Amino acid sequence: MSAPSSVGPGKVVRIHYTLRGETGEVLDSSDSSEPLEYLHGASNIVVGLEEGLLGATPGQKVRVKVAPEKGYGPRAPDAVHAFPRDAFPADMPIEEGMSFQAEGEDGQSLPVWVLSVEAEQVMVDFNHPLAGHTLDFEVTIDGLRDATSEEIAHGHPHGPGGHHHH
Ligand code: ZN
């Protein structure tokens, strides 16, 4: 089996990345951690970044600008809700900027973010914090390999040796 030569569906791609916002501030980066591995074509990363990396080769540096529509979506103004403070467990620490999992109507868990905490109420945002933002990614392709059939069935890469936890 020959080594896969470029990023495309069914490849496990290892990347180093820096994500900047509109004003150049660094929002996220893989600098201080292991490179990120994702399975191309499985929505592991935002669609605009996936599109921008298509065809890239190992060692290549790629700059990808992602509009909100292909990133974390536009901000929905009606997705901010006020909850009474006593709707939360009294011993649960609640601080501005923290995120937690809320339970949706169908029982699935949804990530939400705390916008502000007042004496009587907590403002909770169901938008992702990066919703409405244009994302500016600087990516270096660190490595590439064919995904295994198990990885494709699961929709995500597995670690070295094939061991993983779900
Ligand atoms: Zn798995």
**C-alpha 88, offset from chain centre:** 27
pLDDT (tens digit per residue) in 4-33: 589 999 999 999 999 999 999 999 999 877
Residue 25 is predicted with a pLDDT of 93
Give distance in angstroms: CA of 150 to centre of ligand 1: 7
Residue 31 is predicted with a pLDDT of 83
**Residue among 58, 77, 79 at smallest CA distance from 125:** 79
Which residues fall inside 5 Å of ion ligand 1, going by CB? 154
Give distance in angstroms: CA of 143 to centre of ligand 1: 20
Give distance in angstroms: CA of 118 to centre of ligand 1: 41
pLDDT (tens digit per residue) in 98-109: 998 888 778 888
119-123 contacts at long range (C-beta below 8 A, 24 or more positions apart):
119/85, 120/84, 120/85, 121/82, 121/83, 121/84, 121/85, 122/82, 122/83, 122/84, 122/85, 122/87, 122/88, 122/94, 123/80, 123/81, 123/82
Report pTM. 0.78
Structural domains of the chain sorted by starting position, each given as residue range(s) with its CATH number in brackets: 11-72+130-154 (3.10.50.40), 77-125 (2.40.10.330)
Considering the chain, what percentage of its residues have pLDDT values greater than 90? 71
What backbone phi and psi angles, to 5 degrees, belong to 137? Answer: -100, 135
Dist. CA 21–CA 26, nearest whole Å: 7
Average confidence (pLDDT) over 129-145: 95
The token pair at 124 is: 């909770």
pLDDT (tens digit per residue) in 28-50: 999 877 899 999 999 999 999 99
pLDDT (tens digit per residue) in 64-80: 999 999 999 999 989 99
The token pair at 6 is: 């470029």
Q: How many CB atoms lie within 10 A of CB 91?
A: 5
Dist. CA 70–CA 165, nearest whole Å: 29
Give distance in angstroms: CA of 156 to centre of ligand 1: 6
Give distance in angstroms: CA of 7 to centre of ligand 1: 21
